[in-house]
Amino acid sequence: MKAIWSLTGVLLFASVALGQQAEVKPTPAEARITQARGAIEKHPDHAQAYNELALALARRARETGDPSHYDQAEEALKSSFRLQPDNFEGRKVQCWLLLGKHEFEKARELARELNRRAPDDVLVYGFLADANAELGNYPEAEAAAQWMLDLRPGNIPGLTRAAYLRELHGDVEGALELMRMAYDQTDPGELEDRAWLLTQIGHLHLVHGKQREAESALTEALSLFPRYHYSLGTLGTLRMEQNRWAEAVELFETRYAVAPHPENLYPLAEALERAGRSREARSAFRTFERQAVRESKGSDNANRELIFYYIEHANDPARALRLAERESARREDVYTLDAYAWALQANGHYREAQSQIERVLKTGARHPLFQSHASAIAAGPGVKESSGTSPSRSRPALRAARG
């Protein structure tokens, strides 16, 4: 599972609260799992009870970063559909699971089907926004997010999706405004939801170069939901930008212990290298490569990190390009296109690299890595800097509601 700005992280807000007293209490996701299983024992012939179990398990997946909960949720849905084939609520949960497992094309097709069945369902439009954004179909994602806000002005899932798309098009201040609106409307008892929103706010401040504000938001997020894997990762990125390598290592180590995925190991290896712990860094990179290659043909993968690893650490640009070509054939979001452009650059295909990075920049995206890659590609042999190397704001920002 990806960390910041994989849109599958904004699917729904679960009621999750991490106990902070001496007595360890179950989170609401765990409590809902128990409650749903109890309902199944009492009414094993009710399809909705299995839907509730699947939903609770999906919420637990976000809470922990453990994708095995998605597999358990799929088993619960099998029982739901056996009792009531193709029931609408079960199919909605199924779409959520597809997004969580990064099966974006399948999720988009299912969301389209559900949208035809219920064209006024706000969450279904959220699924359309998520799937299209992850595939790089940004106009379709924008249209779906706008429908969410038109149908139910100010709803929190609509605000978070609109914020993501505003950031994508370079409107970081507008994205912050929408995220703050969502945060202000979130129940104070929904600790994980609020921690997630604070993490997004911290990320936006970081992109905007406001390190103090980013640190404040991320520190608050971790006080609400200690050891939260999303917050740990973003705070680790902040520490890297501050050249506080030892602290970055500690944060990334904690995140990897909580959510041991290869995309979480890669920044840890880089932090170890920057901290001068070369032997540990080499070991971490080797482990990362093994893990990332093992899952590279799956939907939920660390291929972007693996591309950068082959270019910047393994001196194998040809392998990076093969992987980038395969991944960009599957999805064309800005993060994938940026990695593809960088792989083309590393292999000496400068004009093709320029073409791909211009596709990224035309969205208006202001991510520092995109800008760094664009500058390096524009300076490459045989490439003249074009107007495409400057961010474009050709699309209007999403509004909280149409007037």
Model confidence band, residue 378 (pLDDT cutoffs 50, 70, 90): very high
- Residue 190 forms part of a structural domain: no
Over the Cα atoms of the chain, what is R_g? 21
Does the global pTM surpass 0.85?
yes
What's the sign of the alpha-carbon dihedral 122, 127, 128, 132?
A: positive
* Residue 157 included in any domain: no
Instruction: DSSP letter for 298, please.
Output: S
Domain for residue 194, yes or no? Answer: no
Q: Number of structural domains, the chain? A: 2
Sole residue written with tokens 């914020």:
163
- Tell whether 371 is covered by a domain: yes
Q: Is residue 196 part of a domain?
A: no
* Of 83, 102, 121, the domain-final residue: 102
Q: How confident is the model at residue 383 (pLDDT cuts 50, 70, 90)?
A: low
Least confident of 44-48, 207-211, 385-389: 385-389
Q: Report d(CA 15, CA 302) in Å as an integer.
A: 29
Strand, coil or helix: 247: helix
Is residue 57 assigned to a domain? yes
Q: Report whether pLDDT(95) > 80.
A: yes
pLDDT at 250 over 90: yes
C-alpha distance across the termini of the chain, in Å: 37
The length of the chain in residues reads: 403
What's 74's domain CATH number? 1.25.40
Quick one: CA dihedral 180, 183, 188, 191, positive or negative?
negative
CA torsion 198-201-202-203 (nearest 10°) is: 130
Q: What range does the domain containing 337 cover?
A: 313-403
Asked if residue 141 is part of any domain, the answer here is no
Whole-number Å distance between alpha carbons of 134 and 153: 24
Percent of the chain, pLDDT > 90?
81
Q: What is the 3-state secondary structure (H, E, C) of 108-153?
A: HHHHHHHHHHCCCCHHHHHHHHHHHHHHCCHHHHHHHHHHHHHHCC
Q: Is residue 10 part of a domain?
A: yes
Residue 26, SS3? coil
pLDDT digit string, tens, across residues 220-248: 999 998 999 999 999 999 999 999 999 99
- Over range 264-274, report the average pLDDT: 98
Last residue of a domain, one of 102, 127, 152: 102
pLDDT of residue 320: 98
Domain endpoint, select from 102, 132, 155: 102
